[in-house]
Amino acid sequence: MCGIVGYTGKRAAMPIILEGLKKLEYRGYDSAGISTLHHNELTHVKALGKLIALEEQLAQEPLAGSIGIGHTRWATHGKPSVPNAHPHVVGTTAIVHNGIIENYKSLRTELEAHGSQFLSETDTETVAHLLHVHRRETLLETLFAILPMIRGAYSIAAIDTRDPHTLVCVKQESPLVIGLGKNENFVASDIPALLAHTRDFIFLEDGDVAAITPESVSIYHHGQPVERPIKTVSWSPSAAEKGGYKHFMLKEIHEQPRALRDTLRGKFDGKTLQLSDLALTPQEVASIRRIQLVACGTSWHAGLVGKYYLEQIARIPVEVDIASEYRYRTKVVDSSTLVVPITQSGETADTLAALKDAKREGAKVITVCNVVDSSIVRESHGVLYTNAGPEIGVASTKAFTTQLAALYLLALFIAQEQKRLDSAAIAEHIAQLEALPAVIETVLEREEEYKNFAHTFHDYPNFLFLGRSFNFPIALEGALKLKEISYIHAEGYASGEMKHGPIALIDAQMPVVVVATASAVYDKLVSNVEEVAARDGIVVALVNDADTSWGKKAHTVFRVPEVPEMLSPIVNAVPMQFIAYYVADFKGCDVDQPRNLAKSVTVE
Ligand code: F6R
């Protein structure tokens, strides 16, 4: 999830682009750069770290010109470094890119075989070389020529010395808007970057290509000119940062279909699942006999679901540890033990310490992480990135569901390498995973139901969340989400465990949220709920669309489409997030920055 800003007009491009990039700071920074075109010459400046580093460098070496592109990077392919920062310049063209080019490896091999010399590890540079190698009369024609060669989700903006007033861009499953000015026009990945200059925007559609000059905007789809409506945006700058949502958490809940698609993207070629960043040799995967998942908070809940995945799919015994506990217990690990820290930030102190201990004892360590080249990634032998994009809200949402998808991929990968699953079986699992974003879109469309529920229930002092099997961790996660952002006391329990104590809590004041989607233990869970209902507990059930049996048993019924049981936690997490979000919002809590909490816990 990078930020893009481009300008073509009569004013100096550099300050406009730099100011625009600053407005995208919430997208996360690891490096940034700007390229402008002046007197038929391309110049660029790139810097590692936050935008201030770029700003300082530009103060030393300002860029002249009234056309340019800029970029803030959230690394996906290649660690944060100056060579990996955008723009990438090859020949007469400079480009910036947001997204993932799925087939960049094979393209790069081919380009290198024909003499292209790469300076970075990025997928983006592949596009820059393609534009150079296949150049036609204009940049626009060149872009048309190379687009059929690239696969993935991307938005790209480019400038070229051969066409010194034209910005060219393309959007494919990654955001890109055109801002309209007077004798000047803009392009950006997000509206906030341009609000200081315009309120009139064209929202490009997937597959759109645009050629933008100071006086004109021409848009093409499948090579044919098309008209797109101009929309006037009335958002305040702070609402614009949140994509028009009231809070980052709500925005991030809604980003989950995209985040899941990006996590799955480019891993399966129709025959083989490839997780090359794991950096494990076939022998190393073959020798895995035990797995330890280590994490904190929500990431630990992801680990609890991951245990089910790894044991059921890969048939390897798994332990799941809270990192702050793992650090101080005797660790029985050896070279056949795979230790998997799970962490959104890659900076959690307890998880980092646990990892170092495990490494010292001789374990192989591969991390499931959302932040490229974070401290924990750097300490690990390999990594599986979640590609959720920066998560700003303190309460983890899209990082969690993408962690579940990543752990599912890990289980499939080990099963594949240990010859437990053949390619057809893997393909079937992948197809089921790939169907999830659309299912989650359906759940998101039902948002209003959760808001109505929260309106009635936000004053209750206690909540209980129940689940079983794959969805027991979802009950834990539902309770954690609610308590951390609404400050309501909530507990998550395995429903079969109720009778061993917590049932004493049930009375007519206790909402009990039950995750009751289709499962092998559905009937058992229903009997547990009968026990709750018999004690006047307020049953709030999350069930599948086709399940009509809850009318009498439950006070409120939420429905989600049915998916295979193993994948149901990924879908069921979303209603838990909505319940917590709307309850907290009705209570007037600071949803994105709850009291006493920090996004990264970098102290013990
Ligand atoms: C809860 C939450 C925290 C984090 C935990 C670990 O919504 O976000 O419980 O999951 O602090 O953080 P990471 O995953 O960054 O290691």
Domains of the chain: 3-240 (3.60.20.10), 250-434 (3.40.50.10490), 444-587 (3.40.50.10490)
Spatial separation of the C-alpha atoms in residues 601 and 604, rounded to whole Å: 8
Average confidence (pLDDT) over 376-384: 95
Cis bond leading into 87, ω under 30°? yes
Spatial separation of the C-alpha atoms in residues 176 and 43, rounded to whole Å: 24
Residue 297, ligand 1, Cβ within 6 A:
yes
Residue matched to tokens 């296949």: 134
Least Cα distance to 42 among 32, 54, 34, 50 occurs for 34
Q: What is the pLDDT of residues 29-53, one digit of tens each?
A: 789 999 999 999 999 999 998 899 9
Q: Give residue 58 CA to ligand 1 midpoint distance, Å.
A: 36
Average confidence (pLDDT) over 459-464: 97
SS3 letters across 435-470 = HHHHHHHHHHHCHHHHHHHHHHHCCCCEEEEEECHH
DSSP characters over 285-306: HHT--EEEEEE-HHHHHHHHHH
Do 250 and 256 meet the contact criterion of CB atoms below 8 Å apart? no
Percent of the chain exceeding pLDDT 70 equals 99
Closest residue CA from atom 5 of ligand 1: 297
Spatial separation of the C-alpha atoms in residues 376 and 381, rounded to whole Å: 10
Q: What is the pLDDT of residues 177-196, one digit of tens each?
A: 999 999 999 999 988 899 99
pLDDT tier for residue 149 given thresholds of 50, 70 and 90: very high
Least Cα distance to 389 among 54, 17, 20, 24 occurs for 24
How does the average pLDDT of the chain come out, rounded? 94
The SS3 of residue 195 is coil
User: How many CA within 13 A on the CB side of residue 12?
Assistant: 7
Least Cα distance to 85 among 152, 35, 141 occurs for 35
603: pLDDT strictly greater than 80: no
Q: Is the dihedral of CA 159, 163, 164, 170 positive or negative?
A: negative
Do 511 and 466 meet the contact criterion of CB atoms below 8 Å apart? no
| Amino acid 28: pLDDT | 65
Q: What is the pTM of this model?
A: 0.83
Residue 402, ligand 1, Cβ within 6 A:
no
Average confidence (pLDDT) over 292-306: 98
Percent of the chain exceeding pLDDT 90 equals 84
Closest residue CA from atom 16 of ligand 1: 343
131: pLDDT strictly greater than 80: yes
520: pLDDT strictly greater than 90: yes
Residue 395, ligand 1, Cβ within 6 A:
yes
Residue 568, ligand 1, Cβ within 6 A:
no
Average confidence (pLDDT) over 318-338: 93
Residue 299, ligand 1, Cβ within 6 A:
yes
Closest residue CA from atom 10 of ligand 1: 298
More confident call, 59 vs 173: 59
Provide the Cα torsion 512, 513, 519, 520; round to 10°: -20
In the annotation, is 599 catalytic? yes
Report residue 367 as tokens. 């991390």
Q: What is the pLDDT of residues 199-240, one digit of tens each?
A: 999 989 999 999 999 999 999 999 999 999 998 887 777 777
Residue 396, ligand 1, Cβ within 6 A:
yes
Q: What is the pLDDT of residues 63-107, one digit of tens each?
A: 999 999 999 988 877 888 999 999 999 999 999 999 889 899 999
Burial class of residue 173 in the structure, from the number of CB atoms within 10 Å of its CB (0-12 exposed, 13-18 middle, 19+ buried): middle
More confident call, 239 vs 336: 336
1: pLDDT strictly greater than 90: no
Average confidence (pLDDT) over 301-315: 98
Do 181 and 171 meet the contact criterion of CB atoms below 8 Å apart? no
| Amino acid 79: pLDDT | 85
- By DSSP bridging, strand 462-467 and strand 382-385 are unpaired
Bridge-partner residues for 463, per DSSP?
A: 490
Q: Give residue 467 CA to ligand 1 midpoint distance, Å.
A: 21
Atom of ligand 1 nearest to the CA of 351: 16
Report residue 169 as tokens. 């861009």
